[in-house]
């Protein structure tokens, strides 16, 4: 795809769709009608929130009553996957609409030396811009309000935001982030706005004040939780860097308490939006940046290519659009193109020919294989179709999972479907090569960012980013010449 500066969204979507369409398909129902009165966009990213722990996604605990209520008024996407289960690169994909090898942020990079961090941050160019940059250029007020160091200004994710707030230390509660965002919205004098709210409360280490003590004992192991864990074949014990060896039931109880703490803090934001015409003039997107292991597949954290670490909640509430469930397989890079298809002001003002994503609600949308990867140092990539998932690890035979028969990815069926392994392996290799070629074009006009404050290392240690992770492969020495699939030039702290 030829890359150009900012262009009309309709042309970008047409190009993306024409590339994805292999042949003419049977007619489909028309998409939801656009909402002409909508002029603002609010994006809330929930850090480390796996979809299957929300009530609106079928979870058996009352972890998310505020989000569940919002879901009843929203489009609820059931198969939205992050392209990578780590905070910084996942947000980079959400806001640029391209995949990790293409925007070049292949891992969190907090523990790298200062001079290397500058090179590893998201850097924009005439052909690689963020949603905030594009909307600011068209007259939108833009504000970003973040909860923790993994998305602070030094990462490059602040590009395009005029108003910006971040914690002075490692992290802050959702209530503080939301208070800053509400102040920004209230100061707008009616101008259209893009506001991004990033909430970190479900991320570990889970201990007071994140969440407060009263939330830690809210949930107890019971027969429902035991059955839930048994169905997914959780191990009896799982080890974590900050927890030692614990039963997965304990990890779930603590995580669910943190998730309820996050949800409780969302209530003032929803009440403020309902208070005046904002509710009828603002599109609301709530989306996870990635999921979490909690012991599933033996991983307590995240950063591996399993479904529980890729699958995220995605709720889109647009005034005038009837709520419903949206089931096609899609990606974080589809989020903004899909929302733009519902909002005329965004369709005219929003971004870029660079987008790889598509409008999932378009009548001609066809699910396509979804790329996934681990942070670069772990050397794992994946390709997910509506039925199969190919998983490739460094120096190991490929694995294949039949998601229809085995939704929890428990049985490797590569030996039974060699032709599927071959076909998906070729598609995966082609996709990685395409992303790398695009990155070369984007990098042509990039300028260096400013130097990073050394205090960030201490902040990240407080969050548990120590530079080692029991789930990581052994560290490899940096090789500045390599930025490819198996390269070690982006060695981060584990998240």
Cα 203 from Cα 463, distance rounded (Å):
9
Alpha carbon 239 to chain centroid distance? Answer: 25
The upper half-sphere exposure of residue 73, i.e. CA atoms within 13 Å in the direction of its Cβ, equals: 16
pLDDT recorded at residue 469 = 34
pLDDT recorded at residue 55 = 98
pTM score of the predicted model: 0.85
pLDDT recorded at residue 110 = 65
Are the beta carbons of 451 and 474 closer than 8 angstroms? Answer: no
User: Exposure string (b/e) for 286-295, b if CB count within 10 Å is 16 or more?
Assistant: bbbbbbbbbb
pLDDT recorded at residue 361 = 95
pLDDT recorded at residue 34 = 63
Query: CA separation (Å) from 283 to 96, 195, 294, 342, 481?
Result: 19, 11, 32, 9, 43
Per-residue pLDDT reduced to its tens digit, 20-59: 333 333 344 566 766 668 999 999 999 999 999 999 999 9
Q: Which residues is 370 bridged to in the sheet?
A: 384
Cα 359 from Cα 300, distance rounded (Å):
34
pLDDT recorded at residue 348 = 64
Cα 412 from Cα 400, distance rounded (Å):
5
| 96 class by beta-carbon count within 10 Å (0-12 exposed, 13-18 middle, 19+ buried) | buried
User: Exposure string (b/e) for 204-213, b if CB count within 10 Å is 16 or more?
Assistant: bebeeebbee
Query: Per-domain residue ranges for the chain?
Result: 38-366+448-462
**Angle, nearest 10°, between helix axes 248-274 and 174-186?**
20
Asked if residue 205 has a cis previous peptide bond (ω within 30° of 0), the answer is: yes
Cα 209 from Cα 173, distance rounded (Å):
9
Alpha carbon 421 to chain centroid distance? Answer: 27
Superfamily of domain 38-366+448-462 in CATH is: Alkaline Phosphatase, subunit A (3.40.720.10)
pLDDT recorded at residue 240 = 72
Residues in the chain predicted with pLDDT less than 50, given as ranges, are: 1-28, 447-453, 460, 465-495
Cβ-Cβ contacts under 8 Å for 208 (sequence gap 6 or more): 216
């Amino acid at each position: 795809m030829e890359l150009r500066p900012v262009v009309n969204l309709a042309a970008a979507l047409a190009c993306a769709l024409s590339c994805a369409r292999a042949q003419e398909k049977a007619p489909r129902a028309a998409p939801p009608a656009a909402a002409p009165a909508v002029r603002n966009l609010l994006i809330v990213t929930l850090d480390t929130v796996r979809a299957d722990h929300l009530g609106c996604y079928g979870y058996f605990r009352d972890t998310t009553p505020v989000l569940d209520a919002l879901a009843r008024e929203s489009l609820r996407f059931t198969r939205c996957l992050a392209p990578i289960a780590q905070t910084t690169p996942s947000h980079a994909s959400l806001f640029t609409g391209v995949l990790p090898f293409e925007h070049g942020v292949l891992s969190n990079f907090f523990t790298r030396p200062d001079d290397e961090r500058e090179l590893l941050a998201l850097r924009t160019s005439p052909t690689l811009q963020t949603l905030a940059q594009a909307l600011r250029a068209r007259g939108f007020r833009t504000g970003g309000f973040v909860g923790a160091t993994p998305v602070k200004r030094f990462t490059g994710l602040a590009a395009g935001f005029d108003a910006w707030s971040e914690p002075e230390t490692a992290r802050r509660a959702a209530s503080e982030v939301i208070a800053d965002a509400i102040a920004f919205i209230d100061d707008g004098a009616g101008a259209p706005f893009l506001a991004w709210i990033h909430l970190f409360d479900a991320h570990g280490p889970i201990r007071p004040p994140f969440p407060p003590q009263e939330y830690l004992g809210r949930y107890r192991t019971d027969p429902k939780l035991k059955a839930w864990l048994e169905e997914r074949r959780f191990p009896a014990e799982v080890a974590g860097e900050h927890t030692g060896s614990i039963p997965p039931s304990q990890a779930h109880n603590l995580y669910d308490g943190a998730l309820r703490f996050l949800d409780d803090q969302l209530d003032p934001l929803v009440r403020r939006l309902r208070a005046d015409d904002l509710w009828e003039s603002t599109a609301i997107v709530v989306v996870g940046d990635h999921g979490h292991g909690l012991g599933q597949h033996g991983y307590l954290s995240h950063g591996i290519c399993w479904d529980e670490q890729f699958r995220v909640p995605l709720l889109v509430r647009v005034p005038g659009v009837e709520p419903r469930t949206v089931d096609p397989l899609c990606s974080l890079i589809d989020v903004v193109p899909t929302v733009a298809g519902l909002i005329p002001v965004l369709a005219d003002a929003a971004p870029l020919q660079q987008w790889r994503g598509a409008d999932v609600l378009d009548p001609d949308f066809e699910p396509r294989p979804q790329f996934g990867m681990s942070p670069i140092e772990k050397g794992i990539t994946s390709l997910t179709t509506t039925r199969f998932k190919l998983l490739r690890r460094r120096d190991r035979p490929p694995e294949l999972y039949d998601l229809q028969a085995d939704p929890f990815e428990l049985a490797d069926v590569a030996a039974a479907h060699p032709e599927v392994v071959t076909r998906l392996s070729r598609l995966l290799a082609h996709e990685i090569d395409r992303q790398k070629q695009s990155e070369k074009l984007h990098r042509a006009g990039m300028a260096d960012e400013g130097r990073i404050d050394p205090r960030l290392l201490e902040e990240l240690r407080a969050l548990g980013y120590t530079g080692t992770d029991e789930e990581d492969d052994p560290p490899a020495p940096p090789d500045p010449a390599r930025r490819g699939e198996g390269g070690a030039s982006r060695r981060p702290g584990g998240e």
